Amino acid sequence: MVQLRPFTAGDREAVVALSLRAWEPVFASMERVLAGSGVYEAYYPDWRTAQAGAVAQACADMEAWVAEVDGRVAGFVALHSLDDTTGEIHMVAVDPAHHRHGVGRALTEHATARLRERGSTVAMVETGGDPGHAAARGLYEHCGYTALPSVRYFRTL
């Protein structure tokens, strides 16, 4: 059974570690999509270090929650308000050992409820359109989010 609780500083190491495991296939997918352009190497010279820092910063600066399964951290979510009406689920990660067991859904639904409680009337979450992000897109759609397609273009300079 999934138990949710507020993030504490003692969770940092476990949350960073699980997020790196969860996002490894995502970054591999982006590397394949951007192959030959030089963009991946320029944009993500060391994705693990950058992502570890981003996760730690989000958990320190935003409202963050962890999901536990059998007393062990299995996932996390970080959320914040963008303005008076819009809240954002900034990051969600689930340890691959707990994929497809309801952890991501519990975190996403909890974060959505927290944004509503904070006064947001619109909640947003952003993810990639590459194959590595397919599971995230499915999760958000399953939780009632509607995709608004957008395209970002990159090139090296």
Domains and CATH numbers, the chain: 2-142 (3.40.630.30)
DSSP secondary structure string for all residues of 48-102: HHHHHHHHHHHHHHSEEEEEEETTEEEEEEEEEESSSSEEEEEEEEE-GGGTTTT
Calpha distance 104→67 (Å, rounded): 9
Q: What is the pLDDT of residues 99-120, one digit of tens each?
A: 999 999 999 999 999 999 999 9
Question: What is the mean pLDDT of the segment spanning 53-81?
Answer: 98
Q: What is the pLDDT of residues 3-28, one digit of tens each?
A: 999 999 999 999 999 999 999 999 99
Would strands 63-69 and 2-6 be described as parallel, antiparallel, or unpaired? antiparallel
Q: What is the pLDDT of residues 24-63, one digit of tens each?
A: 999 999 999 999 999 999 999 999 999 999 999 999 999 9
What pLDDT, on a 0 to 100 scale, did the predictor assign at position 93?
97
pTM of the model: 0.94
DSSP category for residue 37: S
Retrieve residue 112's tokens: 């959505």
Classify burial at 90, counting beta carbons within 10 Å of its beta carbon; exposed 0-12, middle 13-18, buried 19 or more: buried
Calpha distance 113→10 (Å, rounded): 25
Nearest to 85 by CA among 53, 122, 112, 116: 122
Neighbours of 139 (CB within 10 A): 20
